[in-house]
Homo-oligomer: A and B are copies of this chain.
């Protein structure tokens, strides 16, 4: 990198990631126990430092790759947290992202190696510093995203039933959806397609599997959930 023309204060810049997953009919969060001071041993979000030659997005991708072994993860900027005292270890400006992970695809050993654990969203432990607030912001952003377009492709397995999709939405919004109305709404979007075989473990009758279309007819989706 070329030398900077600017003479101004410089800052540590970090990324912190709220990593969402979906397993056993519940929304999950990947958290880790700090391995350095301050707050050693306490639960926190996965984070990392922004290097000289990378964007904040690249830094987040790097952190996610290190912990899950996955590339091309869905990421969205949430907010910047920059209170000078937010980290007792020094002044750190943190750019927060949320990510969506296919739990069935990630590297479980790598996660274990890092002392990270998937927590059920509603049962997660208290987090250090301002990480609680970060999670709150990320959850709001996830709800907004999920209300405007159908999410699930980044969280559910390749093949899933409409019940699974609905359960995901119920976990995200922490409320019930009418089974019939949900089905009709989702199918009207024409972004998922029915497969030939059925899942028979969750119901006696058996429910058809669906998958996300590779090239949905309508790229611009409508609103899904009224908030």
Which residue from B6, B57, B84, B90 sits with its C-beta under 8 Å from A3? Answer: B90
Q: Are A79 and B82 in contact (CB under 8 A)?
A: no
Q: Are A4 and B52 in contact (CB under 8 A)?
A: no
Q: How many copies make up the complex? A: 2
Contacting residues, chain B, for A84 (C-beta < 8 A): 1, 52-55
Contacting residues, chain B, for A38 (C-beta < 8 A): 5
Q: Are A8 and B56 in contact (CB under 8 A)?
A: no
Q: Are B89 and A5 in contact (CB under 8 A)?
A: yes
Contacting residues, chain B, for A2 (C-beta < 8 A): 90
Nearest B residue to A81 by beta-carbon distance? B55
Partner-contacting stretch, out of A91-99, A121-129, A190-198: A91-99
Total residues of chain A contacting the partner, CB 8 A: 35
Q: Are B92 and A80 in contact (CB under 8 A)?
A: no
- A49 contacts partner chain B, Cβ-Cβ < 8 Å: yes
Q: How far is the CB of A53 from chain B (nearest CB, A)?
A: 5
Q: How far is the CB of A116 from chain B (nearest CB, A)?
A: 21
Question: A12-B6, A38-B5 given as contacts; is B79 within 8 A of A55 (CB)?
Answer: no
Nearest B residue to A36 by beta-carbon distance? B5
- A37 contacts partner chain B, Cβ-Cβ < 8 Å: yes
Q: Are B8 and A49 in contact (CB under 8 A)?
A: yes
Q: Are A4 and B12 in contact (CB under 8 A)?
A: yes
Q: Are B79 and A4 in contact (CB under 8 A)?
A: no
- A83 contacts partner chain B, Cβ-Cβ < 8 Å: yes
- A180 contacts partner chain B, Cβ-Cβ < 8 Å: no
Nearest B residue to A59 by beta-carbon distance? B82
Contacting residues, chain B, for A79 (C-beta < 8 A): 77
Q: Are A5 and B49 in contact (CB under 8 A)?
A: no
Q: Are A9 and B93 in contact (CB under 8 A)?
A: no
Contacts A5-B89, A9-B49, A77-B80 supplied; 10 other A-B pairs, CB < 8 Å = A2-B90, A4-B91, A6-B89, A6-B90, A10-B13, A13-B13, A13-B93, A52-B91, A77-B79, A80-B95
A–B pairs, 16, beta carbons within 8 Å? A1-B84, A5-B89, A9-B49, A9-B52, A10-B10, A10-B12, A11-B11, A11-B13, A11-B50, A11-B52, A13-B93, A53-B84, A55-B82, A55-B84, A77-B79, A82-B95
